[in-house]
Amino acid sequence: MENYLIEMCNISKSFPGVRALHNVNLEISKGEIVCLLGENGAGKSTLMKVLTGVYKQDSGMILFNGKELDLTNTRQAYQRGINIIFQEFNLCPNLSAMENIFLGNENRTKYGLFSHKRTRQKALDLFKKLDIVINTDVPVATLSVAQQQMVEIAKALSYETKLLIMDEPTSALTMKEIETLFTIIRSLKKQGVAVIFISHKLEEVLAISDRIVVLRDGENCGNILAKDATENTLVSLMVGRAMTNFYTKRNCQPSEEILLEARGITGGTKIKDVSFSIRKGEVLGLAGLVGAGRNALVKLLIGADPKSGGSVYMHGQEIRIQSPKDAIKHRIAYLPEDRKFAGLVLPMTTRENATLCVHTKIQNMIGVINRKKENAIADTYIDDLRIKVFSREQVAETLSGGNQQKIVLAKALAVEPLLLILCEPTRGIDVGAKAEVHSIIAELADSGISILIISSELQEILNLADRVLVMHEGVITANFPIADANQENVMRAAIGSA
């Protein structure tokens, strides 16, 4: 029998009203890269929290180098070399890179004082090991997302990590940054570090993994070598059925009526004299590389950031939008790219989150919310969007990523929008939930709602949009009817060479 670094044997875990894991097995050897795959809610996060001491399993056992491991907290996991990097980084933005790396694991002088010299040198040694260059003394808030991720990896390696768990590590990275990350992961593999890689991007899973373990409904349903796997077989294992088409085709064509027109929008340091229009019932894709200005443009449109120039017209009449509240008043709804940071209040219930933007509609003269109306709105969107909750009172942070995304969408739809702006609507959700969101987008557009969609997945835009705008360095460089849009000409416009 092979000597595994980690063996999770018949792990089961339940929470009130839900069985999260049932007799799950997972093994990983030294220097092996194993991808843990499954739909949102399949049990991946729960299994990793058991492995890192966040949760205690109800039954089953964990073996570490052949000996039983009984974890009661995360620090015990760190001390044994089991470390996890979450999708949302666990960094203190006001502290420097070196301070973050050794936070809770400080280097001290013989008098017990914090040693800047020793800490800086150890941080530099870790960066050298990773073959990266980062200023150890600047606050991590000033670093790029990719650099912050490297700080997280260095922080993990400061504990002499034997097993590194990476949860959706590429969700906010460019293609070049992903290549750098994969180079580092392969380097760690050569050093004998085992890696558990969690991702919904199947092409990345196949590119980086040695072996793939699939969970469905809290149980094992697949264990396959990456060299023997295909995207279709992985999807079938994840969802329990074959999925031949992730995109729902439109039943209706957009109207010729212009709903909204932006003229000469300028603001911040990026956006320079941008003009465009969107028709009623049209899905307008906004493509471009990271930093092209897509999100900055949207924030100017909804009043989240101040414009320095330009006008917005709806139905031919100029409207003034100086805050997101003004945007809602004009029935423009916005789904932000980071659902946990900007889209949800995680400790609040599904009901409370779904109705956050419509309190003025459901309160009486003295500002008391009409609970009957609030319940009706929440129940409507739970049904319409097929949100999997035990009740409208289920707290948002207990839901899977796909269902959290649907709650953010419910909050936007409660505004009864004429224009729905979707930023990265399927980031961090599994293929089944992604197909559902695509279907919902098509249905909303068919109902006459105009949709502006920003996605880092170009294929998503090409399959959903009726028309594609491309941005480069704060300006629009192309406007393609969908019949003329393809990956080659969109990317040419995105790098400014169209």
- The type of residue at 53 is G
End-to-end CA distance of the chain: 58
Q: What is the pLDDT of residue 349?
A: 94
The residue-averaged pLDDT of 27-53 equals 90
Q: What is the pLDDT of residue 252?
A: 80
- The type of residue at 7 is E
Buried/exposed 159-188: b ≥16 CB within 10 Å, e otherwise: bebbbbbbbbbbbbbbeebbebbbebbeeb
CA distance 288 to 496: 10
pLDDT band at 247 (very low <50, low <70, confident <90, very high): low
Question: What percentage of the chain reaches a pLDDT higher than 90?
Answer: 46
- Residue 61 Cα distances to 27, 48, 182, 324, 404, angstroms: 12, 14, 31, 50, 31
Burial class (CB in 10 A: 0-12, 13-18, 19+), 72: exposed
CA distance 242 to 231: 11
CA distance 220 to 241: 15
The pLDDT of residue 181 is above 70? yes
Domain residue limits, the chain: 6-239, 258-494
Q: What is the pLDDT of residues 384-403, one digit of tens each?
A: 888 888 899 999 988 877 78
Q: What is the pLDDT of residue 50?
A: 94
The residue-averaged pLDDT of 180-192 equals 89
Q: How far is CA 121 from the centre of its chain?
A: 34
User: Is there a contact between 29 and 1 (Cβ–Cβ < 8 Å)?
Assistant: no
Q: What is the pLDDT of residue 248?
A: 66
The pLDDT of residue 145 is above 80? no
The residue-averaged pLDDT of 407-429 equals 89
The pLDDT of residue 414 is above 80? yes
Judge if 6-239 and 258-494 fold alike in CATH terms: yes
The residue-averaged pLDDT of 263-275 equals 92
Neighbours of 96 (CB within 10 A): 21
pLDDT band at 260 (very low <50, low <70, confident <90, very high): very high
pLDDT band at 245 (very low <50, low <70, confident <90, very high): low
The pLDDT of residue 179 is above 90? no
Burial class (CB in 10 A: 0-12, 13-18, 19+), 338: middle
CA distance 428 to 222: 21
The residue-averaged pLDDT of 17-34 equals 91
The pLDDT of residue 1 is above 50? no
Nearest to 409 by CA among 361, 457, 343: 343
- Residue 7 Cα distances to 24, 93, 160, 352, angstroms: 11, 35, 20, 41
CA distance 390 to 232: 31
Sheet holding 59-64, edge to edge: 18-28, 6-15, 59-64, 67-69
Nearest to 2 by CA among 151, 173, 194: 194
Find all residues with CB under 8 Å of 291, minimum gap 6, and list them.
none
pLDDT band at 300 (very low <50, low <70, confident <90, very high): very high
Which of 36-40, 96-100, 107-111 holds the top average pLDDT?
96-100
- Of the candidate ranges 345-349, 374-378, 398-402, 479-483, the one whose mean pLDDT is the lowest: 398-402
Of 107 and 196, which is predicted with more confidence? 196
The CATH class of 6-239 is alpha beta
CA distance 235 to 238: 5
- The type of residue at 51 is L
Q: What is the pLDDT of residue 47?
A: 94
Question: Is domain 258-494 given the CATH code 3.10.20.30 in the classification?
Answer: no
Its pTM stands at: 0.66
The residue-averaged pLDDT of 341-370 equals 88
Mean pLDDT over all residues of the chain?
87
The residue-averaged pLDDT of 117-128 equals 86
DSSP 456: S
